[in-house]
Each structure stands twice: as structure tokens, then as C-alpha cells.
Chain A
Amino acid sequence: MSATTTSAPKANADDSNGDITDAVIRFAGNSQDGIQTIGGFLAKLAGRSAREVMTYMTIPSTISGGASIFQVHLASGEVLSSGDEADFLFAFYQHSYDAHLSSLRDGGICIYDSDHVTPDPEDKRVRHVGVPITSTTVEALGGTAKDRGKNILVLGLVTALFQLDRAKLVSLIEGQFKRKGEDVLRNAMVAFDAGYAYQIGDLHGESFNLQAGAAGDTDHVTTDGNTALALGLVAGGVRFGAAYPITPWTTIMEHLRSELPKHGGLFVQTEDELAAVTMALGMSYAGHLSMTGSSGPGISLKMEALGYGTMAELPLIVVNVQRGGPSTGLPTSVEQSDLMQAIYGSHGDAPRVVLAPINVEDCFHVAIEACKLAKKCSAPVFILTDQALATRIEAFPEPDLEQVVIAPKLDTETRDETFVPYPLEGETRHAPPGTKMAGGKYPVVTGLEHDAWGHPNGSPEMHQKMMDRRRQKISKLADDYPVSEVFGDDSGDVLLVGWGSTWGPIREATIRAQGEGLSYSSMSIRHLNPLPNDLGDIFAKFKHVVVIEMNDEGLYGFGQLATLLRARYANPSIVSVTKTDGLTFKIKEILQRVDALVC
């Protein structure tokens, strides 16, 4: 079996004046050059032009300075990854050129700032086009602006090159810069126009008309995963929360800090991670649906209190924007190595729910589902997202907000004499403070093992019964899950299985293999604890079940999800593809690794 094809449908960059349907453009410079701004504008434009988009960026974890890239994958069809190889590279500096030239595909076009970059004259693999980006910017803007604005000049170049919708871009620029003052807007427009009018010598007369997609009647939303997740939490009824800043989680708390007061809620920045999870539990105990979140190191610190959440049966949403670990690890790189921690991380047997969104749009919907499940089982619910999903921008249709919004409710109705918080058979019935107890007896919520009333009771029988109760209410949730979806045939040679943000690359790899006539299907598991009930039957219909994840193969040769699935189904067909290089999976990487395993 061979599945080693590496070329995707690509921009016809060799044919001048061609219409193209797909382009991967990489901008490489320094973080203070505003490279993200170019990418952000292009992504927004794509959302307004019925083009699909996915971005990818790296930002050094320094305050200012350091190499930075922004890659935009624009297409008129479905975009599932940010692109294995770039069709176009904009190199701002010599170091950008040196580091990123290899990311260009054969025959790709490198547009370099001829004020800073001396290209390799021997390199015939790609086309080199020099543009004096810096001096043209200085010339256009004059005054004291120096080279600030060269990002917008490049945006103008790109607009002309790909025949993008100039009017829409101008309105986006106006929207963004007006707030910063008339001078700033004027400069931005001067830079944009200079770029737009610039005749790129070697490409003179060539254009790459990026086609708009099939008739979309409404503009798409373009945003990143952290923003979508924060808004999903608001839609799901979260009104209170607490957290401590840590990359790449922080932007969620920034959003919630500003957003929740509009809805009568509050998000608190605490002194540390322990206080954050604790304060959020306090808000839950007080009767609200509340949340906390963090990344690797911070999640480790929260584990004791999360075990309390399971024991005291308090609903709480916990977001982990995973990054490279262990310890401080790779703060701005992607990894999926916190799955076992999410499921098993606290001391004792402390079952909880774990969900993972598969793309930016799904971040919104998973957040709402987490809200529903947290209330249903009255226990902590983890949302495992990751650095790649957190920061990349995608376009998607606006959700039907009237349909999905859940109004929060503080229930302090008087509880009658029959009230028990933890009935051995039946659902948790928390009575938040402020609730009158008709029977005259008030409940104490505790982390000690307790009886149905919540009273400390460590007898062997009670501990076993309560352990059963806490486990069963979680495992029962899977009965109400939607049917798992398999992409492709529901039986065959190979089933690729992923979770979280690997959904796009796995799907694209599947499409490519199918295109070659191979029997490949794929699925992404969004519910990781408890697992869906139908997985065993699905797996049984494939010769090979290959679990693809961004974590280490561990001591026994299997990634974290693969380990769980093998333990759960004892199915020897389940094998594992893992990696921990801090980068998202490339399509050819998946196909080659799977091919090597199954041949």
C-alpha cells in the first residue's frame, strides 16, 4: 500500500494570469512588524468573501522582538489545515529568508524585502522576487514613521497580487485603525495604496486571481479558538469565574473579564492558580455555573481542588489550553499531552468529564456542551483545547444564537423536609447558601467521604457506595451522546482516529488517501471521558485503527488516547502515531507515518 503522495491541490503559481482556488501564504519577519495584522486582515476578508481560511502563527514568548511568522491558507473550498508547504513566502529579513525558504514548495514564489535580504543566487528551486519593502514604506509615509507601516504596504501588495476585494479590505482597515486616530488611519491608507500600486518587477503583468467560494449569502465570522471558546461559555450560561494568566490560556480570561460584567457576571484575576480554581469552586457553591482555566503548569496546581469538586459534587468548567510540557516546557508550542492528566489528574479516584473541540467553530459549541454536562452531573468538566487551536483564525458561519443561548438560574427556592444533597440513587441536589431549609437542618459541603446528607462518614460501605455513585453519574452521560461520525466508509483497511485540533489534518490526509483509491476513513473523538459507547463496534470494522496524537509514545509505545482505547477495547488493531516536536501534523507526515505502520 502506498500513501506517500505529498502534493495537495496547489496554486498555479507557474501560470501567470491564472485563476487559483487555493493559496498558502507565509509572512516571516519579527514580532514587532505587525505580521499578525496582515494575516488577521486576510482572514477577515476571507470570511467576508465566502472563502475558507485557516491561519497558523508563531509568536516568540518575549515581550517584543524575536522571529515571528503568520501563515494564511486561503481557499474557495474547504480548508482543513494551515498547509504543509507555502505557495508564497514574504521574507522581511535575512533571517526570515534563511529560516523559511525551505517552507516554500518547489516552484513557489519568494517575495523578499530587497532592502534587507540577499537571496541565494544558486537557488533555482523557487522563484525569487525582490521588492524594496522598507524603503518604499519610508518613501510613502515620510516623516518619523520610519518603517512602521510596512505590514500594511505588504497587505496592499497582496491585495493587488491576488486580486482581492479592495473595497472590503479598505473598510476593514478603516474599522481597525479609526479607533487609533485619524493620523494613524491616514498613514495606514497611504501605505496600503503604495503597496497596491507597486508594480512588482519580475511579476509584472502576472496575477493570481483567488476565486471567491460558492455563493455564501452571509459573511462568516473569523476568529480564533480562544475567542470562540470564551463566547461559547457566555452562551452556555457561565457568569462567574476566576483564573491566573498563563500562555496560551490568557486571552480567554481577558475576554471573560470584559464580557461577563455586561451580563451581570464577574471574572476575577486571582493571586495564583490555587486561588483561581478555589474561587471558582466558591462561585459554584454559591449557586452559579462558574469556570476556571489555565495551561499545563497551572492545571497541575489546580488538581487538589478539582478532586474536591468531584467529591463535593460541584459543577465547574475547567479549560486547559494545552502547550508543550513537561514543566515550563514549550510555552508557545502545541502538544496534546495533558489527556491523562485531565482524566486521572487528581489523587484518589476522582472521575470527571473531558471534552475536546476539533476546530475553532467547535470551541464555541463544546463550551456550551460543557455547561450542560457540568449542570447535569454536578462535577468538574474539562475542555481540552490547545495552543494551535487557541491562536489560529478560522472562518465559520455565525451560530444560531437564539437557539443555543442558555440563561443561567440561581436556585435558592426553599428546600423541603425530604431534601438530601447526595441521594444514593438519584441526582445531586445542591442547595446553595441563601436557600431556606424547611426541615431546619442546613447542609455542610465537604471533601471528607460523607453520607447522602453530606455528613462525614468514612465507613467501608459508605465509601464504596459513594464511589459507585460518583462514577456511575459520569459513565451514564455517554448514553445521551450523539452517534459517533465516521468520515468515509464505515468499514475498511484503515481508520484514522484523532482528538482535538488534529481533526483538520487527519481529515485532509483521509481525503488525499481516498483520492488515491485507498481504503481510509477517519474520526475525531470529542468526548474523551466518558468515551462514546459505540466506538468498539466502529473499530471492529477496520483492519487497522491508527490513533494520531501530539504526545509522546510513552514507555510502552502508545500515545495517551491510544493507551486508553487499547485498555478500553483490548483491540490489538489499535496502533499509535505520536509526535512531540511542538508543531501541528502535516498531511504528508500523517500519510507517511500511517503507511509505515500498516503496510
Chain B
Amino acid sequence: MDSASTTAEPEKLTKKALTADHPTWCPGCGDFAVLASFYKTLEKLQIPQEKIVTIAGIGCSSRFPYFVNSHGLHFIHGRALPLASGVSLSRPDLHVFAFGGDGDGYSIGGNHLDHAARKNVNLTYVIMDNFVYGLTKKQTSPTSPLGFKTKTDPTGAIDQPVNPMKKLVYGGATFVARTHATQVKHMMAMFERAIKHEGFSVVEVLSECVIFFPGAFDEGNPRKGGEFTLIEEKKWDGTPEDEDRHDVSDNSAAFALANEEWPGRFGVYYETDRPTKNKLEQRWIDDMQSKVGDASTADLLKQRFSAMK
């Protein structure tokens, strides 16, 4: 995190300062808890308010930027990630967050997700996955389970759903975690690790749509009789128990976890340290700038024109 080393008065970032419009979500929507956890995590990390940028596409959860009092941008459907990448790559001083749902991220924006992951652009992406299109009132989403009845699949969904963890690990995201909107402490821990991770970090949050897919995630919610099973990460302590724990840097192990039966486990599936596109591009920029030295824009253009004479 950037140190706020400037002379200015240290303004404490509070949940109150971060609160903006009251959310337009339906009462009981899982996204409320995601928003509250986001506020609390920022409060804990004390990121300078003006450096926070929240960006989203289209969907219920993509309304997120209106509810955070920070610089924000509400974009078009499916393209939050390339826009956020443009901000991140051209402004290394900022903390860039993208928010969205399963339709925005895995369907209309699915290709961008693969490429932002591959390029390892330095930003944090929170996907509020509710397995259904809510804003347009119950159509099949890319994560809707087989057999789920919607207005576009009245006899039940027939297309194999996307496995988000597999897509993210395969795509090359360098931090991939999964959490549940009813588990606020765990969600905050995942957000904090994602923000601190340098690179493309993604947190998939199972966030229930109480109107169009109520009960979708009860199997992962102890209060509804389900089980919230955590991934035990390796402690590298040499003990025999450690043998069975999950090595977050092992992508085969991440795939194995992603293949587990519903509701699966929660926590960090994958984390690796790979140079970000931001760093690699900056290295090239620095290299080129050191070659041209003090030459002004006009000087450099003159050189180009001279070479064409």
C-alpha cells in the first residue's frame, strides 16, 4: 500500500465517510453484507479516500459505485475490467476495485476476465455471484445450476454452468478466493488479502438473490443447516497434518478443490507471485525514458522527422 507521506492532515477514513447513496437492492439481498464488509476493510486498511476507485458494469451488484463515497464509475455491461485496467495501468498511485455479478463477469464480460487475469493487471475484482439474472427478473445466468427454472429456461437450465474457480485459476489470476456473503468475518479477511496482493486478485462471493433464487446458497450457510467449510492452508511447519493442507501456490490442488462437490470449500484457492503488467510496462517505460534522457517531446519528434528525410 502507498504510504500517505504527504504533509496533509491525516484524515481518518471511516465507514461514515465512505457511505454514499442508500443501496437500491431488495431487502435481504446478499450484496448489503458485501458492501458493509468492503467499508470495514477499507476502514481497517486506511487507504486514502481520494485514491479509492470503484468501477462496475451493469447488473444489480454493479450499482456498487453509487453506494461508496469514493471516485467511482458505472460503466456498460461486461466491460468493467478493461476500463479498470486502463485506470490501473495509467495511474499506479490508485487503488482500483471492480465490482460485478456473474452475468457481467462470466458471460458478457467473460473474455475480458480471462485477459485481465492473464495480464495480471494490478486491481481487485469482487464478483457477487447469485446464479441468476436479477435486474432483468430471472433469466438463466452462466452459473445457474442445471435444471434451474427461469423465464428463459422454463423447463430448467440445460447448459453446463461455468465453474468460477476453475475459470479464474485457468485464466491466470494470481489471487483467487471464494467466500459467502453471510460470513462477514471471512469475507473481510478475503478482501484484505486480495487488496494486499499485488496483481489481479479476485474474490468470488456467493451472494443470495432473495427474490429470484432464494436459498441458493443455504448449503454453505450453517444458520440454514449447511456447512461453511474452510480451506486449510499449509503452514509449512513440517508436521504430518500439514501434508494434507492446501498449498495455495499449487494450481493442480486449486483445480482439485474447484472440482469438489457443492457447496465446496471457502478460502484462498490460489495465490502466486507473478510480475504484474503494471510493473512490466513500467520497466519498459523506464528503460525507454533513460535512453532518451532529457530530450523534450519536441526534440524526440524532431529526431523522428529527421529520420524520415
Interface residues of A (CB under 8 A from B): 44, 47-48, 219-223, 227, 231, 234-235, 240, 242, 259, 261-266, 268, 270-272, 274-276, 278-283, 285-288, 290, 304-305, 308, 312, 398-399, 401-402, 405, 407, 431-437, 440-448, 456
Contacts and interface: CB of A to CB of B under 8 A. Distances in A.
B86 A281 contact: yes
Contacts of B287: 261
Interface residues of B, number: 53
B51 interface: yes
B69 A235 contact: no
Contacts, number: 180
25 contacts: A221-B308, A222-B308, A223-B308, A242-B86, A259-B304, A261-B289, A275-B112, A278-B86, A281-B86, A286-B94, A305-B76, A305-B79, A401-B305, A405-B297, A405-B298, A431-B71, A432-B71, A433-B50, A434-B51, A436-B50, A442-B50, A442-B71, A444-B66, A444-B74, A448-B74
B297 A447 contact: no
A313 to B, nearest CB: 12
Contacts of B300: 234, 262-263
B75 interface: yes
B17 interface: yes
* B65, B72, B114, B287, most chain A CB atoms within 10 A: B72
Nearest to A312: B73
Given A227-B308, A235-B301, A274-B78, 19 more contacts: A221-B309, A231-B301, A234-B300, A235-B297, A259-B304, A262-B291, A278-B76, A279-B86, A283-B89, A285-B83, A286-B87, A405-B301, A432-B71, A433-B52, A434-B93, A436-B49, A441-B69, A444-B71, A444-B74
B73 A285 contact: yes
Interface of B: 17, 20, 49-53, 55, 65-66, 69-76, 78-79, 82-87, 89-91, 93-94, 111-112, 114-115, 281, 284-285, 287-289, 291-292, 296-298, 300-302, 304-305, 308-309
B75 A278 contact: yes
Contact of B87 (A44, A268, A433): A433
A282 B86 contact: yes
Nearest to B291: A262
A401 B93 CA distance: 32
Nearest to A275: B82
Nearest to A431: B71
B106 to A, nearest CB: 16
Given A219-B309, A308-B75, A405-B301, A456 B66 contact: yes
B74 A286 contact: no
- 4 closest A-B pairs by CB: A282-B86, A433-B71, A275-B82, A279-B86
Contacts of B85: 268, 275, 279, 282
A493 to B, nearest CB: 41
A446 to B, nearest CB: 4
Secondary structure of the A contact surface, majority rule: mixed
A442 B49 CA distance: 9
Nearest to B67: A444
A274 B79 CA distance: 8
Contacts of A401: 298, 301-302, 305
Contacts of B50: 433-437, 442
Contacts of B111: 271-272, 275
Given A268-B89, A433-B50, A442-B69, A279 B309 contact: no
A248 to B, nearest CB: 19
Given A231-B304, A234-B301, A240-B90, A266 B281 contact: yes
B261 to A, nearest CB: 33
Contacts of A283: 86-87, 89-90
B89 A434 contact: no
Contacts of B66: 444, 456
A139 B301 CA distance: 43
A425 B174 CA distance: 47
A137 B304 CA distance: 34
A47 B309 contact: yes
B10 to A, nearest CB: 13
Contact of A447 (B17, B76, B87): B76
B79 A445 contact: no
B297 A445 contact: no
* B71, B93, B298, most chain A CB atoms within 10 A: B71
A440 B112 contact: no
A304 B305 CA distance: 37
Nearest to A220: B309
B87 A270 contact: no
